């Protein structure tokens, strides 16, 4: 008889956890964190949502959290690749600028002070006046 009396309490507890999990998922700002580039905190929240959903047997919530984690990882990788590409472009531009300075120093050392030589060293479309 005691087992039968425990079942409503267990169901109430499971229902409370289920409701709390749904509220956590609905009230959390996962997407906002990811959009702001705070991938670490967004990942923590998605993992917590997945764990909560798993504990209350909320399969749809667990799967949503896992899918969102996958999307988060893709987004983070794309952002990192973009940052690497931007850094490579910046480094290339800095090397090009350093090369132009070296060419100018070389022309100056040879006594070539003409505006045409300077313009050629700087590049097309730049005024030397």
pLDDT per residue over 74-100, tens digit each? 988 998 888 888 888 888 888 777 777
Comparing 41-45, 48-52, 98-102, 117-121, the range with the smallest average pLDDT is 117-121
The stretches of 1-129 forming alpha helices (DSSP H) are 2-27, 30-35, 39-55, 59-109, 115-122
| C-alpha distances out from residue 63 to 39, 83, 93, Å | 19, 30, 45
What is the structure's pLDDT at 128?
47
Under a CB-based contact definition with an 8 Å cutoff, are residues 17 and 56 in contact?
A: yes
Instruction: Summarize the confidence of residues 112-120 as an average pLDDT.
Output: 60
pLDDT greater at residue 78 or residue 24 = 78
Kindly state the DSSP code that residue 125 receives in the 8-state scheme. T
What is the structure's pLDDT at 121?
58
Tell whether the model's pLDDT for residue 129 goes beyond 70: no
**Overall pTM > 0.95:** no
């Amino acid at each position: 008889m005691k087992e039968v009396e425990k079942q409503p309490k267990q169901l109430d507890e499971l229902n409370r956890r289920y409701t709390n999990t749904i509220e956590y998922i609905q009230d959390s700002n996962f997407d906002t964190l990811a959009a702001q580039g705070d991938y670490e905190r967004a990942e923590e929240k998605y993992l917590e949502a997945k764990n909560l959903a798993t504990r209350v047997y909320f399969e749809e919530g667990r799967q949503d959290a896992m899918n969102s984690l996958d999307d988060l990882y893709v987004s983070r990788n794309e952002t990192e690749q973009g940052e690497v590409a931007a850094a490579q472009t910046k480094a290339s531009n800095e090397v090009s600028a350093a090369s132009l300075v070296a060419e100018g120093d070389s022309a100056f050392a040879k006594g070539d002070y003409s505006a045409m030589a300077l313009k050629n060293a700087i590049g097309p479309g730049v005024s030397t006046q």
